[in-house]
Amino acid sequence: MEGLVPVQRLPIKVASPSLYRCNNSVSIRRSISGFAMDRKINFRAPSQFSIRAQQSDLKESLAVSSSSVEDKGNVLRIKEWEVEMYQEELAISQGIRIRRKPPSKAPLGYSGPFELRLHNNDADSPRNILEEITWYKDVEVSRMKELNPLDVLKKAVEDAPPTRDFVGALRMAHKRTGFPGLIAEVKKASPSRGILKENFDPVEIAQAYEKGGAACLSVLTDQKYFQGGFENLEAIRSAGVKCPLLCKEFVVDPWQIYYARTKGADAVLLIAAVLTDLEITFLLKICKKLSLAALVEVHDEREMGRVLGIEGIELVGINNRSLETFEVDISNTKKLLEGEHGRQIRERDMIVVGESGLFTPDDIAYVQAAGVKAVLVGESIVKQNDPEKGIAGLFGRNISHT
């Protein structure tokens, strides 16, 4: 943890095997005590029988020691597994349906509070595309962290250019045009639609979006499922595009926030269907520290209620795509903004972003009447030969600065 002073440990000699844990790894240290020596040494050659007896005793001692170490190691594995199970239980209690990792079997000899769950036939395969992506991200991020340690990223952040005001850009666009501020998405493909644009030039598309009146841009950085990449984010930022940039990534680890900042992001996406309240709170603090905006995405009323109970959120995205069926229904936006939830959002002057299923001026008018002040749109404009005209067609008129 930051701010803690490392304690220098003095070497300690022990006569029996001991188990040490440091930085989430386990190491076994053994020391063999030497002979005590007096000033006067009386030496008598040991008999062959006594040597064999000592060797036998040593083998038995080492065998017992090895068994003891293995027992301690298994105890540690059980405790680590139980921690994972407790985290999963916490997520379930908050209504989170996305499992962060594939189900794992209990260590050998486990007996405890999760024993009954071992008999449940929990699916070993992902239950939907978001869960599949989340499982893959856990593996991918572990690999990327080895190549780009957090300490290196923190130093790179210090030299990174300042971020642009993502929230401010949306408010200004809403005020200037009278329409929801547009977050235009730079996206080559999606799991549900396949390839959206064959001749994909992220910089060219981003420049056309900016010229067409987009307030901000969303850049897909996932390579496996969306054929995106952080190189696209970097290229757009380096090309001089002035629109603030949202790093559209599936965040499962704080490391990803730092990495996005070093690649030119001004904002990141946090998905309530994947992250617990505590995780969202912690990630928001990192975002604030790095001067990044955070778009917190919800899918249903329970997630909206959770998010409204978390301090420090300015941007809430309502995704109209069902996690179970993958069908899109823009009336989901209206439903989530009715009643108490809508009242709290208005009182706190939060910006609600409508996501998914927006293709026509009537769609924009519908979600705007429901209370959104921004929209995130990708497919309906990226597929156009002229994205600038695609934006005008989406809103029913030209919303560019000219």
Give catalytic residues, as residue numbers: 185, 187, 248, 297, 319, 355-356
Q: Return the closest-CA partner of residue 188 out of 321, 355, 383, 388.
A: 383
Q: Return the closest-CA partner of residue 306 out of 330, 334, 271.
A: 271
What is the rounded CA–CA span in Å between residue 382 and residue 399?
17
* Pair type for strands 189-190 and 194-195: antiparallel
> Between 387-395 and 202-212, two packed helices, what is the crossing angle to 10 degrees?
40
Q: What is the DSSP string of 323-365?
A: TTT--B-THHHHHHTSHHHHHHHHHTTPEEEEES---SHHHHH
- 3-state percent breakdown (helix, strand, coil) of the chain, nearest 5: 45, 15, 40
Contact 329, 354 (CB under 8 A): no
